[in-house]
A and B are shown apart, each in its own frame.
Chain A
Amino acid sequence: MLRRRSDLPMNEDTLGRFLPWLIAFMVFLSALALAGMLILNDAVKRWDTGLNATVSVQVPPGANAREDEQRLGQVLAVLAAKPGVERYETLSKDRLFDLLKPWIGDTGQAQDLPIPMLIDVTVDRDADLDAQSLAKELQARVPGVSVDDHRVWLSQLVRLVTVIQVLAWAVLGLIALATIGTVVFTTRTGLAIHREAIEVLHLIGAQDAYIARQFAARALGLGLKGGFLGLALAVPTLAGIGYLALETGATMVPKPDLGVLKAMGFLFLPVAVALLAMLTARSTVMRNLKRMS
């Protein structure tokens, strides 16, 4: 039974101007937190399935090409015999130079620079291949070989991301608390401002719920207004951040492409905040009216 007309002169108070902006700010912040969380989620999933299963082996260059061959051969022999190694691939010199180009420039005359040789090793995810023992084994044959285990590095990164996600949840929780606090405060002020009209409504036979409904409807309306305003401000901000991320080539951060489901999640934010505001207003009125009489 929500009527457009309110029995209390709510449009004339100042709260109507103040609450939507506050809620807009809350939704803006929570949209950023949510976006951060979703992006990190995606990133972790991708790293987990992609990079996670590779190890790279780095073989230091010998005095000449023949020695290089020899060292490489010894390392490959070990890898071939090692259980848990699914596949390995030596990066050709050309590829290496391609990769290094941005740092050392055109390497036309540097082809014979002594640069290390790289082998990409794909390991069986289930095999418990230990990078350190592999490194020891290789170093016994060829001194100076090093093994980079992306998995170690990644598991640390994943842990960091988890911490960040917990923080994002905490931010969302704090925003919810701040919304509740704001609505409680504005509703109490409203009750004080409209005290005379509320008393008349009571004397006429209005139940507390009837009066609470008016405040709740108001909070819902203001909440939706502020919420969608906040979302409207968050969308260009997020797009801007996404654009910057692409421009700077930060490939660790995946392109913020939103599926339909995730977009729905963002639409749900202002609705959730507005509903929270409505329920808070309602319970605040019910509690305070009981205390008033």
Chain B
Amino acid sequence: MPPKVRDSDPESIVRFENVGLRYGLGPEVLQDITFALGPSSFRFLLGESGAGKSSLLKLLYMALRPTRGQISLFGRNVASMSRSELPRLRRRVGVVFQEFRLLDHLSAFDNVALPMRVAGARESDVRRHVEELLSWVGLKDHLNSRPPTLSGGQQQRIAIARAVITRPKLLLADEPTGNVDDKMGLRLMHLFEELNKLGTTVIVATHNLGIVRQMAHPVMRLENGRLNTDEAEIISDLRLDEPGIGAGAASAGPGFTRIH
């Protein structure tokens, strides 16, 4: 069971305090967001289309700065960090973008290798880990394929592999199962759980309630730009009624790399 972390916990991996976000001069798409997550947390982020799930994740992976409030990652105030400090922080955050954002001119292998190479990993390690992970997500035969030649689901799996290859401390996934069937969806979720057991904090934005029910993790719900955390308990209780995690998909995950 993921440990409950109070706002006052100094050990927070993620902490939002009265965070607001607006695009340009538009309305606030996020208002008064306050929450904190400790190590090994696992949360689903729910909300209607346009509710602000992707926007919240963008704040988390530091693609956007909040228009008000304060965000801390790994105990550090993001606003006070210099530009040169950001890369090291970002290497501890894995992201599955909603629109994948793979580099089309690179092979599947090179796309997944990117975070390791950027962090200066040895090329022999890169080869070993990337091949292992790609075969684990069922892309053993597509190491050298370029993303545009692959199906949506295959691209999504490359995006996921790229996000987890360095075994990040914080994993953010935006609709990571939108393009794969339920079986593959569960398999990918178990990859996340594997990481989660090793201490990674995971946030998954999704519309897939089936998976939410089966996985039995607390839920954060965005409504009208506000975060409703009360429901977390309610939905997580559902796990008592659900048959649990799909046993067929459960197999040992790949060994994750640690770069730091």
A interface residue numbers (CB < 8 A to B): 1, 5, 7, 9, 12, 196-197, 199-208, 210, 290, 293
Q: Is B95 an interface residue (CB 8 A)?
A: yes
Interface string of B37-78 (1 = CB under 8 A from A): 000000000000000000000000111000000000000000
B95, B105, B117, B119: the one within 8 Å of A203 (CB): B95
22 A-B pairs (CB sep. < 8 Å) = A7-B106, A7-B110, A7-B117, A12-B105, A196-B101, A199-B63, A200-B101, A200-B103, A201-B114, A202-B87, A203-B62, A203-B95, A204-B91, A204-B114, A204-B162, A205-B91, A205-B118, A205-B119, A207-B84, A207-B87, A207-B118, A293-B83
Interface string of B96-119 (1 = CB under 8 A from A): 000001011110001000110111
- A7 & B119 in contact (Cβ 8 Å cutoff): no
Q: Is B90 an interface residue (CB 8 A)?
A: yes
Closest to B104 in A: A9
Q: Is B88 an interface residue (CB 8 A)?
A: yes
- B83 & A201 in contact (Cβ 8 Å cutoff): no
Within 8 A of A (CB), among B206-254: none
Distance in angstroms between the alpha carbons of A207 and B84 in the assembled complex: 7
B99 to chain A, nearest CB (A): 11
B197 to chain A, nearest CB (A): 24
B88 to chain A, nearest CB (A): 7
- The interface residues of chain B lying within 8 Å CB-to-CB of A12 are 105
A195 to chain B, nearest CB (A): 12
- The interface residues of chain A lying within 8 Å CB-to-CB of B106 are 7
Closest 7 CB pairs of A and B: A205-B91, A9-B105, A205-B90, A206-B118, A207-B87, A205-B87, A204-B115
Distance in angstroms between the alpha carbons of A214 and B66 in the assembled complex: 31
Distance in angstroms between the alpha carbons of A200 and B93 in the assembled complex: 13
- The interface residues of chain B lying within 8 Å CB-to-CB of A203 are 61-63, 90, 95, 101
B93, B105, B118: the one within 8 Å of A210 (CB): B118
Distance in angstroms between the alpha carbons of A206 and B95 in the assembled complex: 14
B161 to chain A, nearest CB (A): 13
Distance in angstroms between the alpha carbons of A5 and B110 in the assembled complex: 9
A1, A197, A290: the one within 8 Å of B83 (CB): A290
B interface residue numbers (CB < 8 A to A): 61-63, 83-84, 86-91, 93, 95, 101, 103-106, 110, 114-115, 117-120, 162
Q: Which of A1, A201, A205 has the largest count of B CB atoms less than 10 A from its CB? A: A205
- The interface residues of chain A lying within 8 Å CB-to-CB of B103 are 7, 9, 197, 200
- A7 & B114 in contact (Cβ 8 Å cutoff): yes
If A290-B83, A293-B83 touch, whether A204 touches B105 (CB-CB below 8 Å) is no
Distance in angstroms between the alpha carbons of A203 and B101 in the assembled complex: 11
Closest to B88 in A: A205
- A205 & B104 in contact (Cβ 8 Å cutoff): no
- The interface residues of chain B lying within 8 Å CB-to-CB of A208 are 83
- The interface residues of chain A lying within 8 Å CB-to-CB of B87 are 202, 205-207
Distance in angstroms between the alpha carbons of A5 and B126 in the assembled complex: 14
B165 to chain A, nearest CB (A): 10
- The interface residues of chain B lying within 8 Å CB-to-CB of A210 are 118
- The interface residues of chain B lying within 8 Å CB-to-CB of A197 are 103
Distance in angstroms between the alpha carbons of A266 and B115 in the assembled complex: 42
A209 to chain B, nearest CB (A): 9
If A7-B106, A9-B104, A207-B84 touch, whether A201 touches B95 (CB-CB below 8 Å) is no
- The interface residues of chain A lying within 8 Å CB-to-CB of B162 are 204
- The interface residues of chain A lying within 8 Å CB-to-CB of B114 are 7, 201, 204
Q: Which of A201, A207, A210 has the largest count of B CB atoms less than 10 A from its CB? A: A207
A183 to chain B, nearest CB (A): 23
B172 to chain A, nearest CB (A): 10
Distance in angstroms between the alpha carbons of A290 and B114 in the assembled complex: 22
B58 to chain A, nearest CB (A): 10
A155 to chain B, nearest CB (A): 59
- B110 & A204 in contact (Cβ 8 Å cutoff): no
B66 to chain A, nearest CB (A): 16
A230 to chain B, nearest CB (A): 29
A128 to chain B, nearest CB (A): 68
- A204 & B90 in contact (Cβ 8 Å cutoff): yes
B189 to chain A, nearest CB (A): 22
B126 to chain A, nearest CB (A): 11
- The interface residues of chain A lying within 8 Å CB-to-CB of B62 are 203
Closest to A196 in B: B101
- B104 & A201 in contact (Cβ 8 Å cutoff): no
Distance in angstroms between the alpha carbons of A191 and B91 in the assembled complex: 22
- The interface residues of chain B lying within 8 Å CB-to-CB of A206 are 87, 118
Closest to A290 in B: B83
Given contacts A200-B103, A204-B118, A205-B89, 16 further A-B contacts (CB under 8 A): A1-B120, A5-B110, A7-B106, A7-B114, A9-B103, A196-B101, A199-B63, A201-B114, A202-B90, A203-B62, A203-B101, A204-B114, A205-B88, A205-B90, A205-B91, A206-B87
